[in-house]
Amino acid sequence: MESVRGVRFKAKVMAATGVLWGLGRSLRVTWHHEDALDDIRKKSPGGVIYAFWHQRLLPFCYTHRQRGVCVLVSTHRGGELIAQVIERLGFDTIRGSSTRGGRKALHGMIALGRQGHDLAVTPDGPRGPRNVLKPGLVILARMTGLPVIPIANAAWPRLELRSWDRFHVPSPGARCAVVLGKPWWPGEFGKDEREATRRQLELRLMETTAEADRLVGAPISTASDMPRA
């Protein structure tokens, strides 16, 4: 017989899924540069790696639902709830982070990428610094050979939480822009230029995010609130 805790957890998953679905349907979404994805897939018949800041995660749960995109979900408390919710929305998940199970999760993502799956990564997660791209994304791209597509969304009006990433929660009915940035191919830089690659990817993602904010008339904020090492 299922425990009371299990029943309550299932209820939370269903409620959270319903809220996400309802909020997503209310957004007035516009897509920008999405046609570039067709050209990218012609050049790379396998998958792609979507990279976006952690604070912009919520709208993507709706806009990219039912596409079979594989998402890395942290093992921190609440991770199981997040995993089950987005799986109900048609995403695949791998559990792990830079602090827990990172090596195993990276190997899992590499294996799926090599099989042609689309991957999604928040390169400043799960704990920040905010809007600072960690080198794991570069490693993942090199090991899979998949192109990295900087992608951003911006909703306005929106609520900004007091979390490490200042997580964005769109207001119901908000305008929402989804922007694809300039892709990066693993062969663009040499193997000894990892830091140059990391900085270039970070810049492209910042520019893509700023464009999304401009499109909906939202305040543009891309600088980290935490010092760099």
Angle at 136 between CA 67 and CA 187, to 5 degrees: 80
pLDDT at 226 exceeding the cut of 50 = no
* Tens-digit pLDDT profile for residues 180-193: 999 998 876 666 67
If one compares 74 and 37, the residue with the highest pLDDT of the two is 37
Whether residue 157 is preceded by a cis peptide bond, meaning omega within 30 degrees of 0, is: yes
* pLDDT tier for residue 161 given thresholds of 50, 70 and 90: very high
pLDDT at 7 exceeding the cut of 80 = yes
Assigned domain for 225 exists: no
**Span of 69-78, 111-120, 147-156, 216-225 with lowest mean pLDDT:** 216-225
Assigned domain for 49 exists: yes
pLDDT at 157 exceeding the cut of 80 = yes
pLDDT at 96 exceeding the cut of 50 = yes
Query: Looking at residue 125, what is its pLDDT?
Result: 79
DSSP state letters, 52-63: --GGGHHHHHHH
Assigned domain for 228 exists: no
The CATH number given to whatever domain includes residue 43 is 3.40.1130.10
Query: Looking at residue 80, what is its pLDDT?
Result: 85
Assigned domain for 148 exists: yes
**Span of 63-72, 75-84, 86-95, 173-182 with lowest mean pLDDT:** 75-84
Assigned domain for 226 exists: no
pLDDT at 216 exceeding the cut of 60 = yes
Domain that holds residue 20: 4-216
Assigned domain for 24 exists: yes
Distance CA 19, CA 9 (A): 15
Token pair for residue 71? Answer: 């998402």
Question: Is the pTM higher than 0.95?
Answer: no
pLDDT at 229 exceeding the cut of 50 = no
Query: Looking at residue 228, what is its pLDDT?
Result: 43
Query: Looking at residue 11, what is its pLDDT?
Result: 94
Q: Please, what sign has the CA dihedral across residues 116, 122, 125, 129?
A: positive
> Whose structure tokens read 């891309």?
222
- Report how many domains make up the chain: 1
Assigned domain for 222 exists: no
Assigned domain for 165 exists: yes
pLDDT at 112 exceeding the cut of 80 = yes
Query: Looking at residue 227, what is its pLDDT?
Result: 39
Token pair for residue 140? Answer: 């993942």
* Tens-digit pLDDT profile for residues 12-22: 999 999 999 99
